[in-house]
Chains A and B, each alone.
Chain A
Amino acid sequence: MTLFEILRFAGKGLTANKMRSALTILGVLIGVAAVILLVAVGNGASVSVQNSLNSLGTNTLTISPSRGGTGVPSRPLTQADATALTDRNIAPDVGSVTPVVTSTAAATYNGTSIDIGQVIGTRPNYFTITNSPLSAGAAFTDADVADARKVIVIGATVAQDAFPGADPIGRQLLINNIPFTVQGVLASKGSSGLQNADDTVVAPLSTVQYALTGPGNLSQLVVQAASADVIDSAQAQVTAVLGQRHGSTDFRVLNQQQLLTARTQTVDVFTVLLASVAAISLVVGGIGITNIMLVTVTERTREIGIRKAVGATRGAVLGQFLAEATLLSMIGGLLGVLIGIGGSRFTIAGVSPVIDWNAVLLAFGVSVLIGLFFGSYPANRAARLRPIEALRHE
């Protein structure tokens, strides 16, 4: 009996009950497609985290307050700290410094409320330091900061949400019921998977402090090293200067590399979780194959008896039912690969998926193995039947 004959019988067996075969294939298909898609989403999230952090420039440091030693309350970061860091004599490798306060706020436009991820109050050099060019309009100026004018630069997502299809420049957005004039729009940076850099509003530091956070403490200092080569010495100088001013290390200095690692680790955990869920659905698909093959074997016991009566060996029967199971899982696997790859072309939950070809191979391989593994029990049961017992089966 040739392989071709085995496949022919298997194909006949599958087409005999098309609905059932299709549903079983669907089970495997969903499993395989889920593995490919979810891994691609995780992968895409990790890639975009990297991109968005890289786009911030690799020569920036972010300083934020942290708890000092045990029980020592941290001293807040202040404008004076920012000024101290710009002193060329004690911190020669620091290029420029910008203070940042962040806040969340409710915004409305024409009576509809708009979600804003983050309101950032800062100085005009924020845009150059964090590598955030504008796609339209202009950034605010030092004069705006000095006069605490109510002007804002909005992220691409906010522009899209608040003014769909319209030019936002010159329009007024109500933030916490205070009217702000939109003066510029940030170029899109894309989502980092966990945080959407486009879902922000940037306003003059003084304005945000008066209107939203209250005067005083800063959320962060963003420091740009004089060049990418001196980032490490810049970090050492920042730590030394602030440590001296505060009397303890009650702050954290993160450089982009560390941020990148931290974020990527988070995303990796996320990816593993997604992949596990997908793997479970693949196994469930496999159990579906066992189930269907068991039903098939029971239903076709008489047929097995006939085949054995005319001379089918145990191997021939085993081969036929194994081939049926494997064909089911292979078709499901192939379609799953196609749909997984096709689906990865769309943006999912704000992430553009990046296909991991290893995951594709693995998912397909596992689906075929699942057919063999989960099909072998029913196939063996079929093959072991004695002809007369099988023929007497009702």
Chain B
Amino acid sequence: MTPVIDIAGVRKTYGHGDTEVHALAGVDLAIDQGEYVAIMGHSGSGKSTMLNILGCLDIPTSGSYHLDGIDVGGLNENQLSLVRNHKIGFVFQSFNLIPRTSALSNVELPMVYSGVPRKERLARARAALDLVGLSNRADHAPNELSGGQQQRVAVARALVNSPSMVLADEPTGNLDSHSTEEVLGILDRLHADGRTVVVITHEDHVAAHAQRVIRLVDGVIVEDRRAA
């Protein structure tokens, strides 16, 4: 079985000359379908850089990335948009909802770009909001929602197009313990449904939800541990 994520020799370098920063210094990693992976490491160790590359939001300086067997490096801009739309659900630490736009419309957004008809779109968006327990907040704009609720809307948006993987960059970093549990509960359920989940976190109790923990130091993987 081909892994969902397969990166080899990935490097990411920012800046030139004196200010050069090797955010990723040669990373090899394969993640199988249905795995629940936590990425840990100190601040500045390259976690976000790696996840952005996995989410096709950024491109590596060198190295290869195969997603579901497709060589991402060979895709053009439109094909990358398509991959982000169909295969990836991304959750950001800072929620990144579109302001002045209702929760429902935010969740609808990925389906608008994939051309799902309006009726079906609305139904699926409502179902996704229902799944994260926010069906009663569908018409609220982001600034009318608590941080935890905003993040749950973001999770609903990430899963609504049934992507093969959900990538979350410190999804609970800005949340209190109660909201954290709610969001983690949703990710657990996604995993239980067979979705691939990759989560960046600084907290051990969050990482404890995952079956596999990867630790980064200065842009290289120093530990890749699977739970029993």
Which A residues contact B (CB, under 8 angstroms)?
1-2, 5, 12, 16, 302-303, 305-316, 386-388, 391
Kindly provide the distance from the CB of B55 to the nearest chain A CB, expressed in whole angstroms: 8
A312 touches B81 (CB 8 A): yes
B52 in contact (CB, < 8 A): yes
Query: Is B100's beta carbon under 8 Å from chain A?
Result: yes
A273 to chain B, nearest CB (A): 46
| A156 CB to nearest chain B CB (Å) | 60
| B58 at interface by CB-CB < 8 Å | yes
Contact assessment for A306 and B96 in the assembled complex, using a CB-CB cutoff below 8 Å: yes
Q: Is B78 among interface residues, defined by CB-CB distance under 8 A?
A: yes
Q: Which residue of A lies closest to B90 (CB)?
A: A309
CA distance A309 to B110 in the complex (A): 9
Chain A residue contacts of B98, Cβ below 8 A: 303, 306-307
Asked whether any CB of chain A lies closer than 8 Å to the CB of B124, the reply is no
CA distance A315 to B113 in the complex (A): 11
Q: Check A5/B112 contact, CB under 8 A, given A309-B57, A314-B78, A388-B52.
A: yes
Known: A309-B55, A312-B81, A312-B113. 16 other contacts (CB 8 A): A16-B100, A303-B98, A308-B81, A310-B90, A310-B110, A311-B82, A311-B110, A313-B78, A313-B81, A313-B82, A313-B113, A314-B81, A388-B57, A388-B58, A391-B92, A391-B96
- The chain B residue with its CB closest to the CB of A311 is B85
Q: Within the assembled complex, what's the spacing in Å between the Cα atoms of A310 and B96?
A: 11
The 28 sampled A-B contact pairs (Cβ below 8 Å) are A2-B115, A12-B100, A302-B96, A306-B96, A307-B98, A307-B109, A308-B84, A309-B84, A309-B96, A310-B84, A310-B85, A310-B110, A310-B157, A311-B84, A311-B86, A311-B114, A312-B81, A313-B77, A313-B78, A313-B82, A313-B113, A314-B77, A314-B81, A315-B78, A316-B113, A388-B57, A388-B58, A391-B96
Q: Does B174 count as interface, using CB distance less than 8 angstroms? A: no
Give the A-binding residues of B (Cβ under 8 A).
Answer: 52, 55, 57-58, 77-78, 81-82, 84-86, 90, 92, 96-101, 109-110, 112-115, 157, 161
Asked, given contacts A303-B99, A311-B81, A313-B81, whether A1 binds B57 with beta carbons under 8 Å apart, the answer is no
A388-B57, A391-B57 known; A311 vs B96 contact (CB < 8 Å): no
Cβ–Cβ < 8 Å partners of B78 in chain A: 313-315
Contacts of B114 in A (CB 8 A): 311
- The interface centre, meaning the residue of B90, B98, B101, B112 with most chain A CB atoms within 10 A of its CB, is B112
A14 vs chain B, min Cβ distance (A): 12
Residue of A nearest to B117 (CB): A2
> Which chain B residues lie closer than 8 Å to A316 at the CB level?
113
How many angstroms between the C-alpha atoms of A267 and B168 in the bound complex?
A: 71
Write out the residue numbers on chain A whose beta carbons fall within 8 Å of the beta carbon of B101.
Answer: 12
Note all chain B residues with C-beta closer than 8 A to A391.
Answer: 57, 92, 96
Residues from chain B with Cβ under 8 Å of A311 in the complex = 81-82, 84-86, 110, 113-114, 161
Q: From residue B35, how far is it (CB to closest CB) to chain A in Å?
A: 22
B49's closest neighbor in chain A, by CB?
Answer: A388
- Verify B110–A1 contact, CB threshold 8 A: no
CB < 8 Å: which of A302, A310, A313, A315 contacts B109? A310
For residue B24, give the distance in angstroms from its CB to the closest CB of chain A.
14
A321 vs B55: C-alpha distance in the bound complex, in angstroms? 25
Min C-beta distance of A322 to chain B, whole Å: 17
What separation, in Å, do the CA atoms of A388 and B14 have in the docked complex?
A: 13
B100 neighbours in A (Cβ, 8 Å): 12, 16
Contacts of B109 in A (CB 8 A): 307, 310
Closest 9 CB pairs of A and B: A311-B85, A313-B81, A388-B58, A310-B110, A311-B113, A388-B57, A387-B57, A311-B84, A306-B96
Cross-chain contact B112 with A1 (CB below 8 angstroms)? yes
- A1 CA to B55 CA, complexed, in Å: 22
Tell me how far the C-beta of B84 lies from the nearest C-beta in chain A, rounded to whole angstroms.
Answer: 5
Chain A residues near B86 (CB, 8 Å)? 311
The distance in angstroms between the C-alpha atoms of A12 and B99, with both chains bound, is: 11
Taking A310-B109, A311-B82, A312-B81 as contacts, is the C-beta distance between A1 and B115 under 8 angstroms? yes
A1 to B78, CA, bound (A): 14
Q: In the complex, how many angstroms separate the beta carbon of A183 from the nearest chain B beta carbon?
A: 75
A303 to B109, CA, bound (A): 12
- Give the nearest-CB partner of B52 in chain A: A388
Set of chain A residues within 8 Å of B57, measured between Cβ atoms: 309, 387-388, 391
Distance (whole angstroms) from the CB of A321 to the closest CB of chain B: 15
Contacts of A315 in B (CB 8 A): 78
B77 neighbours in A (Cβ, 8 Å)? 313-314
How long is the Cα–Cα vector from A308 to B82 in the complex, in angstroms? 10
In angstroms, how far is the closest chain A Cβ from the Cβ of B165?
Answer: 14
**Assembled-state Cα–Cα distance A308/B52 (Å):** 13
| C-alpha spacing A388/B78, complex, angstroms | 15
CA distance A314 to B78 in the complex (A): 7
Closest B residue to A384 by CB, please name it: B77
Q: Which residue of A lies closest to B95 (CB)?
A: A306
**B110's closest neighbor in chain A, by CB?**
A310
Q: How far is the CA of A108 from the CA of B19 in the complex (A)?
A: 87
Q: Chain B residues near A386: list those with CB within 8 A.
A: 58
A218 to chain B, nearest CB (A): 78
A312 to B114, CA, bound (A): 8
Shortest C-beta distance, B87 to chain A (Å), equals 10
Q: Give Cα distance in the complex from A129 to B116, angstroms.
A: 80
What chain B residues lie within 8 Å of A312 (beta carbons)? 81, 113
Chain B proximity of A69: nearest CB distance (Å): 79
Give Cα distance in the complex from A315 to B145, angstroms.
31
Bound CA–CA A24/B158 (angstroms): 36
The interface centre, meaning the residue of A302, A308, A310 with most chain B CB atoms within 10 A of its CB, is A310
Q: What A residues does B99 contact at CB under 8 A?
A: 303
With A302-B96, A388-B57 as known contacts, state yes or no: A310 contacts B113, CB within 8 Å.
yes
